[in-house]
Amino acid sequence: MFWYIFVAIVATASAQTDETYRAIAYLRSETITGNVTFTETEDGVRVQGWIHGLDAGNYGFHVHELGDIGDCLATGAHYNPDDVTHGARDNEVRHVGDLGNVRFEGEGVEAVAIFDYVDSVIALRGRNSILGRSLVLHEREDDLGLTSHEDSLTTGNAGARVACGVIGILAPNGPWNSAARFVLTKSSLILILSNVLANRN
Ligand SMILES: *[C@@H]1O[C@H](CO)[C@@H](O)[C@H](O)[C@H]1NC(C)=O
Ligand SMILES: [Cu+2]
């Protein structure tokens, strides 16, 4: 009987959670325009972006801890719930928010950064969730914790913040809390009750 109840609950819950979870951030300043989407996949979060407005080169790119974009300084430090040192995106030891650099390519004002990768550390739900925090683009290259500069192991010495945007919900527009998504429907209730009755001695 419990097996049937379990199956009915799982079937009901999963029927409502098959939509892909996605978030979006827009980067805006006087000169910079960009958008970055974050999509849950089996291997992590897929990060896809397009940013325009800086010369060709590498620029530090991080998730900062707060969604306060009163100005980009108000976004606080890199999101770092494990309180570890700064590193590259593919380092074992890194801030959750360490997304390394974005690379702009092209001539002069035509330069754009276009990227598409999966990061296995950031998440859209749970402890490493970046939702409601912010995405920050810096004026310089992030040294990925590899130089002797005093800021290398905290900020990558990436300098000032040239654009920032809040990471917000793109989809689904319903509740994101799976516990709150479980609704006892009439059909699952009938299934449960019929199994209770069938197993009664
Ligand atoms: C992001 O920017 C690109 C380039 O302008 C555009 O094609 C795309 O539709 C934008 N995506 C969103 C979600 O705004
Ligand atoms: Cu940063």
**In whole angstroms, what is the distance from residue 13 CA to residue 183 CA?**
7
The HSE-up count of residue 118 (CA atoms within 13 Å, CB side) is 8
> Which active-site residues does the annotation give?
62, 64, 78, 86, 95, 98, 138, 161
Tokens (6 digits) for 147: 């130089």
Centroid of ligand 1 to alpha carbon of 169 (angstroms)? 16
| Ligand 1 pocket member 50 (CB < 6 A) | yes
pLDDT digits (tens, 9 = 90+) for 50-95: 999 999 999 999 999 999 999 999 999 999 999 999 999 999 999 9
Centroid of ligand 1 to alpha carbon of 35 (angstroms)? 6
Q: At CB < 8 A and 24+ separation, what contacts does 180-186 make?
A: 181/13, 181/16, 181/17, 182/9, 182/12, 182/13, 182/16, 183/12, 183/16, 184/12, 185/12
Q: Which ligand sits closest to the CA of 38?
A: 1
| Ligand 1 pocket member 48 (CB < 6 A) | no
Distances (CA, A) of 83 to 50, 79, 98, 135: 30, 9, 12, 19
| Ligand 1 pocket member 35 (CB < 6 A) | yes
The one-letter amino acid code at 87 reads G
| Per-residue pLDDT, 14 | 47
| Ligand 1 pocket member 26 (CB < 6 A) | no
| Per-residue pLDDT, 179 | 62
Structural domains of the chain sorted by starting position, each given as residue range(s) with its CATH number in brackets: 19-200 (2.60.40.200)
Name the residue with tokens 């945007």: 165
DSSP 174: S
| Per-residue pLDDT, 6 | 52
* pTM across the whole model: 0.82
pLDDT digits (tens, 9 = 90+) for 145-200: 999 999 999 999 999 999 999 999 999 999 987 664 455 667 777 766 777 777 77
**In whole angstroms, what is the distance from residue 77 CA to residue 16 CA?**
36
CA-nearest residue, atom 11 of ligand 1: 35
Q: Tell me what percent of the residues of the chain surpass a pLDDT of 70.
A: 85
To 10 degrees, the CA torsion angle through 27, 28, 31, 34? 40
Centroid of ligand 2 to alpha carbon of 28 (angstroms)? 15
